[in-house]
């Protein structure tokens, strides 16, 4: 067998769908975890500087932010390992289907593993859909804040109207209702929107939201891939070439 034929047989055993899903998952998780972690840190700094004067007012928020940052560490580790396992399962199933690396057999153990991966990946996709929706909340908050600042910039010639335009962090549950000042109005709010910290935080949340969407797309791709792999293994088992492990 020539080198070209050998290369073609090797490339034929690559699970391209699982490989694309793995690359999407890695990039999505990197965006979500990296940008989300830094965005939470910047949010705490913004709240501390412009919306709360007393440490007691945002102490609970600081604890929640720290908790979510630890969760992000766990998510990054888990998805890295899980994507590697799914990619390995894709290589195994592709080799079984195409018999690239010898006379592989579809085993009962292989079919059980594939069905388990289908259920796990489907549940992860459903749970991650909730994470995707949750990651839209800070983007919504900063979008409203940016729209209010734009309105203030348009109405700079009428100061009375400007002072009535506010963003209240207490309405979004970021601070308790007795927090002082708890909100930013008028030119104070406009100056907040022009700061470097605000722009960076807004961009980081948008990037984290995009990363969550990419990860969701990767999980859906994995679901399709693992379902197809299971169908292939079951088909091979029905042909009578299955064996118990």
pLDDT 10s digits, 50-67: 888 787 878 888 899 999
- Position 157 scores a pLDDT of 64
pLDDT 10s digits, 140-165: 999 999 998 888 888 776 666 787 88
pLDDT 10s digits, 77-87: 999 999 898 88
Contact 59, 87 (CB under 8 A): no
Q: What is the rounded average pLDDT for all residues in the chain?
A: 81
Interaxial angle between packed helices 108-154 and 196-236, expressed in degrees from 0 to 180 and rounded to the nearest 10: 160
Instruction: Report pTM.
Output: 0.83
Q: Pick the more confident residue, 214 or 119.
A: 214
pLDDT 10s digits, 156-210: 766 667 878 888 888 888 888 888 888 888 888 888 988 999 999 999 999 999 9
The Cα-based distances of 25 to 86, 160, 197 in angstroms read 11, 50, 29
Q: Is the pLDDT of residue 232 over 70?
A: no
- Position 23 scores a pLDDT of 92
Domain map of the chain by residue range? 16-239
Confidence of residue 222 (pLDDT cuts 50, 70, 90): confident
Q: Pick the more confident residue, 34 or 234.
A: 34
- Position 4 scores a pLDDT of 55
Average of pLDDT values for 114-119? 80
Confidence of residue 211 (pLDDT cuts 50, 70, 90): very high
Average of pLDDT values for 211-234? 84
Pure H helices in the chain: 3-12, 16-46, 55-98, 108-154, 159-162, 186-193, 196-236
- Position 138 scores a pLDDT of 92
Check whether the bond before 6 is cis (ω within 30° of 0): no
């Amino acid at each position: 067998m020539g080198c070209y034929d050998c290369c073609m047989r090797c490339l034929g055993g690559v699970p391209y769908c699982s490989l694309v899903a793995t690359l999407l998952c890695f990039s999505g998780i990197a965006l979500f975890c990296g940008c989300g972690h830094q965005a939470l840190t910047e949010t705490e700094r913004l709240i501390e500087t412009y919306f709360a004067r007393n440490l007691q007012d945002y102490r609970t928020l600081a604890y929640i932010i720290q908790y979510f940052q630890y969760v992000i560490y766990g998510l990054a580790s888990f998805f890295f390992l899980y994507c590697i396992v799914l990619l390995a399962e894709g290589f195994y199933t592709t080799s079984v289907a195409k018999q690239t690396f010898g006379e592989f057999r579809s085993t009962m153990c292989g079919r059980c593993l594939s069905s388990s991966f289908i259920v796990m990946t489907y549940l992860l996709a459903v749970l991650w859909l909730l994470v995707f929706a949750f990651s839209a909340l800070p983007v919504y908050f900063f979008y409203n804040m940016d729209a209010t600042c734009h309105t203030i910039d348009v109405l700079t010639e009428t100061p009375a109207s400007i002072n009535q335009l506010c963003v209240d962090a207490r309405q979004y549950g970021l601070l308790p209702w007795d927090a002082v000042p708890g909100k930013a109005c008028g030119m104070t709010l406009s100056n907040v929107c022009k700061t470097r910290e605000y722009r960076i935080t807004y961009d980081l949340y948008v990037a984290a939201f995009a990363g969550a969407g990419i990860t969701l797309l990767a999980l859906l791709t994995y679901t399709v891939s693992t379902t197809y792999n299971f169908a292939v293994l079951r088909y091979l088992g029905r042909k009578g070439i299955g064996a118990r492990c």
